[in-house]
Structure 1
């Protein structure tokens, strides 16, 4: 009797695991949230019995958390590409947004999941997405601290600036990757508006005197 080697079994298990992740994304593509899809629907999509699901995930929330990790890894790759554009150079914002939009459209289902589950019904997945946001904010804050045009800002100011940038990108995701049926890609107007928002935030940061100074001026 011929036996299947351990490496082949491990590869087949990984393929089935990824198929479950992909099935969940495909089921959500029609507009449903993650909490609205069932374990049975996911396994039916893959072609396995529901009991086989538990060989890969203890429950649906665990599958959702795995999707967050997958999209986080994809997003980190986007950020690395964007960071290669020096944000202070003329045209850097336009180039960075173009890279981001192209990457998001190429990985549409993953980014659509990220956009929707910021406010989704699964508390575990929602918290995981919030944690991903905080990691990006911390990374961007460290990058902004190296900018020669932002040396007047302290850590608290840079954290606010980084938060504004990251949350602006996250809030724009639905418009970028979920266009209307007659507009298969993000509209030039949406992309241009995102560029303007980021430009507005960064220019404001360059002229911001800091939290303490701002509070004094308001008094």
Structure 2
């Protein structure tokens, strides 16, 4: 039998969704604040609900944090995947993807910040959730690399390792860039684009050497 709805208290919302709670928690994060520092009561207050209402959607704050990390990874994979498919002869796949990554780094939704910070400073559960998302990035990038290599007739040596190297490099640079002023972005975009191309070209050269 469904639980009867109770009247909302002063300033409280009568109903709320998981997405509402995730949005409230994201709004509490700042440049130097990890999701691990959030309290259940703080999130409930930001979402304008009674603390007990939190448990209708999440067991505890850790489950909310993992859901936030999963949402961040899913959203970013979609955005960056679209950027790879939008590439043109004038705007390369590499440059397009790196620029999109930095656009998300400076976006207001803080999703990329969440992935970058929790991967290095969060609890073991949070770090594992970030690691899972990075693996998803690598798998999707590998598929695209193989597709692009076939289209250009320039096969790659160990494309899965290439995807891993690129993903880890981009996120490492992003972790550094997160705390730098946006005025440095163009410099970092150019450097990162060159480094990614070096990885790809090195893999192509290794493939040619192996065939020779």
TM, length-normalised to structure 2: 0.78
- Contact 2:156/2:200 (<8 A) preserved: no
- Contact 2:119/2:127 (<8 A) preserved: yes
CA RMSD of aligned residues (A): 2.7
Partner of 1:145: helix, strand, or coil?
A: helix
Q: Number of residue pairs matched?
A: 195
TM, length-normalised to structure 1: 0.76
Match status 1:151 vs 2:152: no
Equivalences for residues 1-219 of structure 1 within 5 A: 12-14=15-17, 17-85=18-86, 89=89, 91-92=91-92, 93-146=94-147, 147-148=149-150, 149-151=153-155, 153=157, 157-180=158-181, 183=182, 187-209=185-207
Deviations 1:131-185 (A, max 9, x none): 11111212222222231344253xxx111101011111211223444434xx4x6
How far is the alpha carbon of 1:46 from its aligned partner? 2.3
Greater displacement, 114-123 / 104-113: 104-113
Query: Whole-Å Cα distance in 1 between the matches of residues 127 and 197 of structure 2?
Result: 29
How far is the alpha carbon of 1:205 from its aligned partner? 1.5
Query: Whole-Å Cα distance in 1 between the matches of residues 180 and 57 of structure 2?
Result: 33
- Contact 2:25/2:43 (<8 A) preserved: yes
Give the 4+ runs in structure 1 shifted more than 4 A: none
Query: Whole-Å Cα distance in 2 between the matches of residues 152 and 71 of structure 1?
Result: 29
